[in-house]
Structure 1
């Protein structure tokens, strides 16, 4: 177990319902989670067919951090090329945990293109 306020890794795993290019993640509660020094240590998505690894394997790909905010606990990833039904896993290192500890509530929003605006929003959970 890690103490509240320390730095840790987190794993994000989801199955998109719509195609999208950008993922925005926000830690809503408790306050104090920070992505300002976060880095991607692992990025994986399930293969589409045998040519890409098939048979339960997977494909790593070069997504990048579009922005991380120090005031709002947000981080955005671009070059995602999300496809409906294709599971995605991202492991982030060096995420600062909130000082009050406990379970964290996140929102995940996907967007078409790299412009994070309401007009480009695809899905939100």
Structure 2
């Protein structure tokens, strides 16, 4: 997926006023997601993202343990200035639903298998596959 198309979709779903706001959310969420994915799944997802976001996904901070979905949202809120848990849920859902669209159903299923329960809703996939 192209950079502009990815950001346009994040901006639309997140109802952000600017590409800059959408980019800030995407960078934060994908950095945190990259810390929770491993191996071929992370590499396959990176291959479907714009280059800048692929690099962010592939070079994450290391997670000591997988975060439950609610803790992932709280971590996102901590990284985005002025964010609350409610706004961070919105940010995470906007970015991860676009990421799921870029990944496709099969890869999204494999991503969800690597994550603790509860992420399916954040990816816009209300049933665990």
Decide which structure has greater strand share.
1
Q: Scaled by the length of structure 1, what TM-score is found? A: 0.26
Q: Scaled by the length of structure 2, what TM-score is found? A: 0.25
Structure number with higher relative contact order (C-alpha < 8 Å, ≥ 6 residues apart):
1
Decide which structure has greater helix share.
2
